[in-house]
Amino acid sequence: MKRLNPELVLRVFAGLFFLIPGLFKVLSPGDFKEFLDFFPSHFDAISSLLFWMVTLLQIGGGILLLWGKQFRAFVVPLAMVSIVALLTTVPNDTGSAQQFVAVLTHIMTFGIFMALFMIGPKSKDILDMIIGRDTERGWDLVQTSLSFFWIGLGAAIWFAPQLLSKAAGNMPFDLGFWGYALAGLIFLKVGFFLLTRFFTGHAAKVSMALFAALIVFLALPDMADSKIGLINLLFLVLGFGASLAIDMRTCPCWKKLLK
């Protein structure tokens, strides 16, 4: 327990986030190569090369994140993978009920991996000779990334509910107008508190609970319809892990537990 710390938690969730799909691509490449059809046609000549380059990047970066050393050179390309997927795969995942949620999680993940670049490992890193670290700003970026997700989701419920109409239709229960209005308000407040550092510890706990609810009631049922159902699930799991790491940094209860 003494070895458990926020950096370790964030690294483990981030490492598994890319290691798992990387291993799946090796074990079952045919299930993932169909996504190459969503890339611009001028990439056709090198599509297979790109596929295996990304696969090796995901596996190598995932292992280094779990190991906790020399991962800074990998996290920026991994962050860019999220943006490329956002621009190519997500718009074509039309069967998914959480397409808009996936847009938000891809942007959130980009921020989290850029934050890992700023935080870095505890030991010396090869990139330290080129560019320094800024741990506190890195953790600020983690909070900002989470707050962006919740504010974006809350704003969509309030001002553009059509973006989440499929998700609402796939829910096992109907919250009704006031239920969704309350959910939107909670999302906005959690995002606001994470962004401004008011009640950060409480907001991080609520964020964990909300990510868990999205996993159970949205991501798991959506896996049958979404072409990237597993990936969408992992995005939400990463959000849960980032919220847990923030909670560990801000809640005094963790300091007592980890003594």
Cβ count within 10 A of residue 197:
11
Tell me if 108 sits within 8 A of 145, measured CB to CB.
Answer: yes
| Tens-place pLDDT, residues 168-185 | 877 767 778 888 899 999
- The pTM (predicted TM-score) of the whole model is 0.92
Domain residue ranges of the chain, discontinuous segments joined by +: 6-257
Q: What is the pLDDT along the chain (259 residues), one digit of tens a residue?
A: 557 899 999 999 999 999 999 998 888 877 677 776 666 665 666 677 888 898 999 999 999 999 999 999 999 999 999 998 888 888 888 888 899 999 999 999 999 999 999 999 988 888 988 898 999 999 999 999 999 999 999 999 999 999 998 888 777 677 788 888 999 999 999 999 999 988 888 999 999 999 999 999 999 998 888 878 889 999 999 999 999 999 999 887 776 676 6
Q: CA 79, 19, 130 angle in degrees (round to 5)? A: 45
Tell me if 129 sits within 8 A of 120, measured CB to CB.
Answer: no
| Tens-place pLDDT, residues 53-78 | 989 999 999 999 999 999 999 999 99
For residue 184, give the amino acid letter. G
Tokens representing 128 are: 């330290």
CA dihedral 185, 191, 195, 201 (to 10 degrees): 100
For residue 33, give the amino acid letter. K
Residues 147-150: contacts with CB under 8 Å, at least 24 apart? 147/190, 147/191, 147/192, 147/193, 147/194, 147/195, 148/104, 148/107, 148/108, 148/111, 148/191, 149/104, 149/105, 149/107, 149/108, 149/191, 149/239, 150/187, 150/188, 150/190, 150/191, 150/194, 150/207, 150/210
Tokens representing 134 are: 């800024």
Tell me if 250 sits within 8 A of 206, measured CB to CB.
Answer: no
